[in-house]
Amino acid sequence: MKNYDVAGGMHDPFWKDLPFTNIHDSLTPDALHQLYQGVMAHLINWVQEMMSKEELDRRIRCLPPTYGVRHFRIGISTLKQTSGPERKNIGKILLACLAPDIPPKAVRACRAILDFIYMALYGSHDEETLKYMEDALDEWYKNRDDFLEARVREDFNIPKFHSLLHYVDSIRKFGTTDNYNTELFERLHIDFAKQGWRASNKRNHFPQMIQWLSRQEKVLSFSSYQSWLQQETESMVIDDAREKRSLYQYSIAKFPAEPHKSITRIMISHTAPNFLPCLKLFLNSLLTTPQSRSRALDADLPIKALDVWHQFKLKPDSQVDGEVVEEIIKAIPFHKKSASARFDNVVVLYSDKAESTSLQGKCFYYSIVNLG
């Protein structure tokens, strides 16, 4: 019979006599629970102690709403059972709220940890990006002592901070961290457990949840077959524009927020003095035989008003951390129901020349209108 200690450990493990076994390699990094629910949680707590929770909340509330960034209207100190996505959103704004109350070295330490977290989540790596991760970790070790001097910590003997030392080696051995991140299974818990529970009558729920899941799989399988069959029957020749449009799913309200709004009012409320000439050039580009630029600008428009929408929802054909993200793009001018204006800048790919590191092949939009 094997002997067990009080902690439940085993003194005679099965792998101790296996010559090629390194049990430490079985402990792969977990970005969700180590980085966001561990390292990020500690970092936020230390910052709150150094500048006070009230001051950090005040600064977070003052940040303007921004596209792609969650706006914490009442701060973060009141959050209970903070989830991984919430910590990710806090990480996006944390660095902007630190100075000048946090010492410069502590700010650099926070920046280094945030850089390390973002680089650890890259979908692909090479020796150069791994060197960036090592440099960020070295920067953290150089500047972290300010947290000790401020007495928010007595030491850094924290297992989740120690795990940062093994990320680069694990990536070299096993690939990027999304290969062994538990966040995927956390997401499946919503699909396979929570939604099934809500669909049941809460009595003898396990058989109902299994039946619900089975039906969902059958519906999904049939839908996939229908999509495949439709693609097979359609023509194989698809123009580039149609193919690009299929990459995105977007939705807009059935009725506009401001119907039949005059172009003059749009130019004033949206602070867009060049809207009229841009509209003329755009409409001219839709003609079969477009006119010259000068003639298009001199032409009179047959319309005097437009229907204006203040937002639309966009679902790109991509995933972030295993989850499909739906973004809301807003263009809200000053009016009685809105305390402040908001215009989101959107970078749109319109050419195959577009690159991820530059603006070539992209254009900008900031207003949402429709011809009326």
SS3 letters for 195-260?
Answer: HHHHHCCCCCHHHHHHHHHHHHHHHHHHHHHHHHHHHHHCCCCCCHHHHHHCCEEEECCCCCCEEE
pLDDT of residue 261: 92
Average pLDDT over residues 233-247: 51
In a domain, 242, yes or no: no
**Are 67 and 200 in the same domain?**
no
**Are 340 and 257 in the same domain?**
yes
Average pLDDT over residues 181-207: 83
* Confidence band for 235, pLDDT divided at 50, 70 and 90: low
**Are 208 and 138 in the same domain?**
no
In a domain, 64, yes or no: yes
**Are 158 and 81 in the same domain?**
yes
In a domain, 239, yes or no: no
* Confidence band for 323, pLDDT divided at 50, 70 and 90: low
Average pLDDT over residues 192-203: 87
Coil, helix or strand for 63? coil
pLDDT at 212 over 60: yes
In a domain, 11, yes or no: no
**Are 170 and 293 in the same domain?**
no
Average pLDDT over residues 246-253: 70
In a domain, 59, yes or no: yes
**Are 55 and 144 in the same domain?**
yes
Q: Which of 310, 302, 309 is nearest to 342 (CA)?
A: 310
Q: What total number of domains does the chain contain?
A: 3
SS3 letters for 125-162?
Answer: CCHHHHHHHHHHHHHHHHHCHHHHHCCCCCCCCCHHHH
**Are 219 and 282 in the same domain?**
no
In a domain, 358, yes or no: yes
Average pLDDT over residues 206-218: 90
**Are 130 and 40 in the same domain?**
yes
CB 11, CB 5: distance < 8 Å? yes
How far is it, in rounded angstroms, from Cα 40 to Cα 48? Answer: 12
User: What is the average pLDDT score of the chain?
Assistant: 82
Structure-block tokens of residue 32: 């969700």
pLDDT of residue 10: 66
Pick from 164, 179, 194: which residue ends a domain? 179
Higher pLDDT, 315 or 128: 128
Higher pLDDT, 365 or 11: 11
How far is it, in rounded angstroms, from Cα 175 to Cα 198? Answer: 37
Structure-block tokens of residue 58: 């005040």
For the segment 96-144, what is each residue's pLDDT rounded down to a tens digit?
999 888 999 999 999 999 999 999 999 899 999 999 999 999 999 999 9
pTM tops 0.95: no
Q: Which of 134, 141, 168, 190 is nearest to 323 (CA)?
A: 190
pLDDT of residue 5: 46
**Are 201 and 163 in the same domain?**
no
β-partners of residue 248 are 316
pLDDT at 23 over 70: yes
Which string of DSSP letters, residue by residue, matches 99-114?
TTTS-HHHHHHHHHHH
**Are 144 and 171 in the same domain?**
yes
- Residue 98: how many CB atoms within 10 A of its CB? 19
**Are 347 and 306 in the same domain?**
yes
CB 287, CB 352: distance < 8 Å? no
β-partners of residue 316 are 248
Range of the domain at 195: 184-233
**Are 136 and 81 in the same domain?**
yes
* Confidence band for 191, pLDDT divided at 50, 70 and 90: confident
For the segment 269-314, what is each residue's pLDDT rounded down to a tens digit?
888 889 999 999 999 998 889 999 999 999 888 889 999 998 888 7
For the segment 332-371, what is each residue's pLDDT rounded down to a tens digit?
887 766 667 788 877 766 666 655 555 555 554 444 444 4
Return the ∠ at Cα 38 (arms to 135 and 186), rounded to 5°: 115
In a domain, 16, yes or no: no
* Confidence band for 215, pLDDT divided at 50, 70 and 90: very high
Least confident of 190-204, 229-243, 322-336: 229-243
In a domain, 306, yes or no: yes
For the segment 31-90, what is each residue's pLDDT rounded down to a tens digit?
888 999 999 999 999 999 999 999 999 999 998 877 778 889 889 998 888 888 889 999
How far is it, in rounded angstroms, from Cα 23 to Cα 298? Answer: 76
